[in-house]
Amino acid sequence: MPTLYIDMPSGIAGDMLLAALIACGADRGRIEQDLLALGCGAIRIHAESVMAGPMAAVRVDVDAEQEPRWIQGPSTLKSQAPEPTHQHRPYAAIRDRLSRTPLPERVIKRAQCCFRMLAEAEGAVHGIDPDLVEFHEVGAIDAIADVVGCCLALEQLGIDRVVAGPIVPGHGTVSCAHGRMPVPVPAVAEMLRRTAAPTKLLGWDTGELTTPTGCALVCSLADAFLGTVQPQTGQISANGTGAGHKTIPGLVNAVRCLILNDTVHTTDSLWQIEANIDDMTGEDLAVAAERLLQAGARDVWITPLLMKKSRPGHLLGVLAAESDRQRLAELILVHTTSIGVRWHQVVRQILPRSVAETVVRGQRIRCKTVALPDGSTRSKPEAEDIVAAAAALDLPVGEIRRLWAARSA
């Protein structure tokens, strides 16, 4: 089970994380190709080798047309004339566009969680519903490409788990679309509060070190932060450094990523959130469960119960990372009829795993292989890739499975 560790001693921005993942081995060209699925035209990622202080690093620049503004029409997304200054893209438009892309399910889920976290933070700051939030700098195409590009890179590298160090927001002020703001800007401060992410404050004026996009990526992707997980053994299979564009006195402006491959089974700590519900229809409960998965729940399940007064009911169970626990508990209270939730910490044992791709008649099918305690392995193709290949080739799902098995033998 490859684990990504994100070390950000001088903060983080979306392009810095993308650069570090490319330095770890993610294919820049493939990311560019997959970004075409957003329907925003060609998005170019320029990567160059630079020195970040004493360390060799990669720095990226995203080149994309910024003019088209997305607005929500009755049933489609429309284009509007270029804006003279800042970009204003509604969160709802970004969310809906992502949901229609043919990208891998986990890429879409990770990107949706990131933008949802940003929208909830901005909504809380401005006192509006998250669906009504309009992003400024975060709504620019290059920022959207940073988020989706990072999620594509994680998928390429087969990352199943993300662990992050403390977040360093910086100190001082920064100029943005809302004017001159204190650091951390309100949206970053709100995300740090909501996720309880460990934060390291510096005592001198550095300006903004952690951008809203960078903060949202770490807080939404991290399954855990250092200090909240069990010790883990393994081998470092890749490491990469992503450089920022600013020179910061006293700091090396870079993000470092390490990929650790488990050599033995590992354990980690998660939170199990539960609610007993006896006054909600199955249809509505299913919608709530899907909403929780989209919001970053590691797993969601519904179990039939016989409750007090002999009423049939359901136990809604959610598995969540520490950084998501409070937010997902609040979503349960908002999207179900429950008036209370409970939670407890659980430890799970995880088998080492790896992800590889097999091409079947031009269609890419990912396969997950796990190492069993007796030393043997077990492999299984990703179901959504099988279904997508069957649709693309107009063949039965069973035939695609047979072709995959023959190719993988």
Of the candidates 120, 104, 224, 90, the one whose C-alpha atom is nearest the C-alpha of residue 154 is: 104
- Stated as kind and residue range, the H or E segment containing 338 is none
DSSP assignment, residue 139? G
Q: Domain residues of the chain, as ranges? A: 3-261, 266-350, 353-408
Query: 224 has which bridge partners?
Result: 163
Q: If you ran DSSP here, which 8-state letter would residue 81 be given? A: P
Q: Are 333 and 343 in contact (CB under 8 A)?
A: no
pLDDT digits (tens, 9 = 90+) for 307-334: 888 889 999 999 998 888 999 999 999 9
Q: Check whether 44 has a pLDDT greater than 50.
A: yes
Query: Mean of the pLDDT values across residues 105-112?
Result: 93
pLDDT tops 70 at residue 223: yes
Please, which residues have CB within 8 angstroms of residue 406's CB and are 6 or more apart in sequence? none
Q: Which helix (H) or strand (E) holds 74?
A: none
What does pTM read for this prediction? 0.67
CB 218 within 8 A of CB 8: yes
Give the chain's length.
409
Q: Are 265 and 351 in contact (CB under 8 A)?
A: yes
Band (pLDDT 50/70/90 cuts) for residue 248 is confident
Instruction: Kindly tell me if the per-residue pLDDT of 7 is higher than 60.
Output: yes
Tens digits of per-residue pLDDT, 342-390?
999 998 887 777 777 888 898 989 888 888 877 788 889 999 899 999 9
| Amino acid identity for residue 150 in this structure | C
pLDDT at site 108 = 94
**Per-residue confidence (pLDDT) for residue 153, from 0 to 100:** 97
Would you say domain 266-350 falls under CATH 3.30.70.1380? Answer: yes
Token pair 């299979």: residue: 237
